């Protein structure tokens, strides 16, 4: 059975949650491989809106096993709240599991994230303040606390004591803030341990067994390619590897388990937080897109910066991720516009740039091709042939530029607002 990966190709919020939910129907497993509760994945099903931060977007289907994988960083408070919220909406969460090897976000991670951002002032990243960066820092510094440590209170006590003593030095001496109190944090986390212990599994063996038993596995990326720690717009990135290479690192599978690499991109671009954004629109058209697309962060509620679709960046993302199928979301959001622009080159210091540069500068500008808009509502359309001609021309240009097949076009936030463009491939992968 093929294992499929869903990955965001821009700066996050491409609609991965909606697409993962849609494609989960015929999956046995949906597995998150990186990131933490910095994500906000929205799913709309018949007037119900679910926003998932840590739990994989397959959870709405009760037949799907959902694993928060070893490469994820888990804030237990957030995880437990998410479980409770889902249960209060009558969603069965009995098949949600946590990997033993996943690292835990602690209160000091959230504080250090916030303090560091404050001290950096105009050099700050604009993080979600969820403590994600500091949790991954501790992981690589080899002082992190893992989910499995919650199963052994004596170990947990020692590791937490060491960490809090260490962090209090930084909190009081560097940031000049109040120290943390060990006992209350210890007790808080012991309570979390009691709630989640029966969801803790050895995910590596579970996933390998599933693969050998020919189960259908969907790996769900969080954040997106241009926020990747290695290949994104560094330093304005997150601290994990959302790109498809991160699946192996984050779940313990070898690369040859993976077959279909499905990239999700919006029909335009958005970005939350700071950092370069060559196609950003700083006029009322940007505001129209923000309003029509409801471009406000699912996690932090911040307004998202909006811009034209950047084909240079998208081509780069498809290349790094080995994308063989593309999904375009939110095409309906562009329906009102008279003219739609596509960025096909960059210009910097009077020079044309055709590839995504490693040192993408704030001053880099997009060079555009103009496309006439279709100026018609397309949100009810289900067949590709029924789309307005100008809309098809826009899609065709993207396909040709990227030399990639578009599998599906999403035209609304509801689960059924989709146009399956390539039915043969779609049903081959997801039947």
**Among 15, 69, 133, 144, interactor with ligand IMO by CB under 6 A:** 133
Q: Is 26 in a helix, a strand, or coil?
A: coil
> Which of residues 158 and 294 has its CB atom nearest to ligand GDP in the complex?
294
Give the nearest distance from C-beta 339 to ligand IMO in angstroms.
Answer: 27
Q: How many residues belong to the site for ligand IMO (CB under 6 A)?
A: 24
Q: Which stretch binds Mg ion (CB under 5 A): 48-56, 246-254, 264-272, 297-305?
A: 297-305
Q: Give the one entry of ligand GDP, ligand IMO, Mg ion, none that residue 199 binds, where binding means its C-beta sits below a cut-off of 5 to 8 angstroms depending on kind.
A: none
CB nearer ligand GDP, residue 145 or residue 309: 309
Q: Which is nearer to ligand GDP, 14 or 75 (CB)?
A: 14
Judged by CB under 6 A, which stretch of 15-23, 175-183, 317-325, 368-376 contacts ligand GDP? 15-23
Question: Is residue 21 a contact point for Mg ion (CB under 5 A)?
Answer: no
- SS3 for 27? coil
Q: Give the CA angle between residues 62, 65, 68 to the nearest 5°.
A: 125
Is 44 a residue of the active site? no
14 within 8 A of 224, measured Cβ to Cβ: yes
Choose which of 381, 394, 410, 430 interacts with ligand GDP (CB under 6 A).
410
**Contact call for residue 333 and ligand GDP (CB under 6 A):** yes
Find all residues with CB under 8 Å of 395, minimum gap 6, and list them.
328, 331, 387, 406, 409, 421
SS3 breakdown of the chain: % helix, strand, coil, rounded to 5?
A: 40, 20, 40
From the list Mg ion, ligand IMO, ligand GDP, none, pick the one residue 18 interacts with, judged by a Cβ distance below 5 to 8 Å according to partner type.
ligand GDP
Alpha-carbon torsion 110, 114, 117, 119, what sign? negative
| Distances in whole angstroms, Cα of residue 410 to Cα of each of 82, 197, 395 | 26, 38, 12
Q: Give 281-324 as a DSSP string.
A: --SHHHHHHHHHTT-B-TTT-PBPEEE-EEHHHHHHHHHHHT--
Closest CB to ligand GDP among residues 13, 138: 13
CA 339 from chain centre, in angstroms, equals 29
241 near ligand IMO (CB under 6 A): no
Q: Which of 279, 269, 229, 265 has its CA nearest to residue 402?
A: 265
Contact partner at residue 128 from ligand GDP, ligand IMO, Mg ion, none, CB < 5 to 8 Å by partner kind: ligand IMO
Whole-angstrom Cα distance, residue 309 to residue 21?
24
∠ CA 215-204-20, nearest 5°, is 50
Decide: 41 and 16 in contact? Cβ < 8 Å: yes
Q: Does 13 bind ligand IMO (CB under 6 A)?
A: yes
- Active-site residue, from 21, 28, 41, 228: 41
Q: How many residues bind ligand GDP (CB under 6 A)?
A: 24
Q: Which stretch binds ligand IMO (CB under 6 A): 10-18, 146-154, 312-320, 420-428?
A: 10-18
What is the spatial distance between Cα 333 and Cα 295, in angstroms, rounded to a whole number? 10
Could you say whether residue 298 binds Mg ion (CB under 5 A)?
yes
Is 293 a binder of ligand IMO (CB under 6 A)?
A: no
Query: How many residues form the binding site for Mg ion (CB under 5 A)?
Result: 3
When CB distances are held under 5 to 8 angstroms depending on the partner's kind, the choice from ligand IMO, Mg ion, ligand GDP, none that residue 310 binds is none
Q: Does 13 bind Mg ion (CB under 5 A)?
A: yes
Q: Return d(Cα 244, Cα 152) in angstroms, integer.
A: 33
Q: How far apart are CA 431 and CA 428, in angstroms?
A: 6
Q: Which stretch binds ligand IMO (CB under 6 A): 19-27, 127-135, 327-335, 369-377?
A: 127-135
Q: How far apart are CA 240 and CA 249, in angstroms?
A: 10
State which residue, 10 or 335, has the beta carbon closest to ligand IMO: 10
The alpha carbon of residue 408 and the mean position of all alpha carbons in its chain are separated, in whole angstroms, by 19
By CB under 6 A, name the one of 298, 314, 381, 398 that touches ligand GDP.
298
From 20-28, 80-88, 298-306, 315-323, give the range in contact with Mg ion by CB under 5 A: 298-306
Is position 13 annotated as part of the catalytic site?
yes
From the CB of 425, what's the least distance to ligand IMO, in Å?
25
Question: Which residues are part of the catalytic machinery?
Answer: 13, 41
């Amino acid at each position: 059975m093929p294992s499929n990966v869903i990955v965001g190709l821009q700066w996050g919020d491409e609609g991965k949650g909606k697409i993962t939910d849609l494609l989960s129907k015929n999956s046995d497993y949906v597995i998150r491989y990186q990131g933490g509760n910095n994500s906000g994945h929205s799913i709309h099903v018949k007037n119900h809106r679910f926003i998932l931060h840590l739990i994989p977007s397959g959870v709405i289907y009760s037949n799907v096993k959902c694993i928060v994988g070893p490469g994820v960083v888990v804030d237990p408070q957030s995880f437990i709240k998410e479980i409770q919220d889902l249960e209060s909406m009558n969603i069965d969460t009995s098949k949600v599991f946590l990997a033993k090897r996943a690292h835990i976000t602690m209160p000091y991670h959230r504080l250090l994230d916030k303090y560091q951002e404050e001290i950096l002032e105009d050099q700050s990243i604009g993080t979600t303040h969820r403590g994600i960066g500091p949790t991954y820092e501790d992981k690589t510094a080899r002082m992190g606390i893992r989910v499995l440590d919650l199963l052994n209170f004596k170990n947990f006590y020692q590791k937490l004591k060491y960490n809090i003593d260490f962090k209090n030095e930084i909190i009081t001496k560097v940031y000049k803030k109040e120290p943390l109190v060990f006992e209350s944090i210890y007790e808080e986390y012991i309570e979390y341990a009691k709630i989640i212990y029966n969801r803790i599994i050895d995910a590596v063996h579970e996933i390998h067994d599933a693969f050998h038993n020919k189960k259908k596995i969907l790996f769900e990326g969080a954040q997106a390619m241009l926020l990747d720690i290695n290949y994104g717009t560094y330093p304005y990135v997150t601290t994990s590897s959302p790109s498809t290479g991160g699946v192996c690192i984050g779940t313990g599978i070898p690369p040859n388990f993976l077959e279909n690499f499905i990239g999700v991109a919006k029909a335009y671009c958005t970005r939350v937080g700071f950092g370069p954004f060559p196609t950003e629109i700083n006029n009322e058209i940007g505001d129209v897109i923000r309003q029509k697309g409801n471009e406000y962060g699912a996690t932090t509620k911040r307004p998202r910066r909006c811009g034209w679709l950047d084909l240079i960046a998208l081509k780069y993302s498809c290349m790094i991720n080995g994308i063989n199928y593309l999904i375009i979301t939110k095409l309906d959001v562009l329906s009102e516009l008279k003219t739609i622009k596509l960025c096909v080159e960059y210009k910097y210091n009077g020079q044309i740039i055709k590839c995504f540069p490693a040192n993408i500068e704030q001053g880099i500008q997009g060079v555009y091709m103009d496309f006439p808009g279709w100026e018609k509502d397309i949100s009810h359309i289900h067949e590709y042939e029924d789309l307005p001609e100008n809309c098809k021309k826009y899609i065709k240009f993207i396909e040709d530029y990227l030399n990639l097949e578009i599998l599906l076009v999403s035209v609304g936030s509801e689960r059924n607002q989709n146009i399956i463009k390539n039915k043969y491939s779609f049903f081959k992968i997801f039947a």
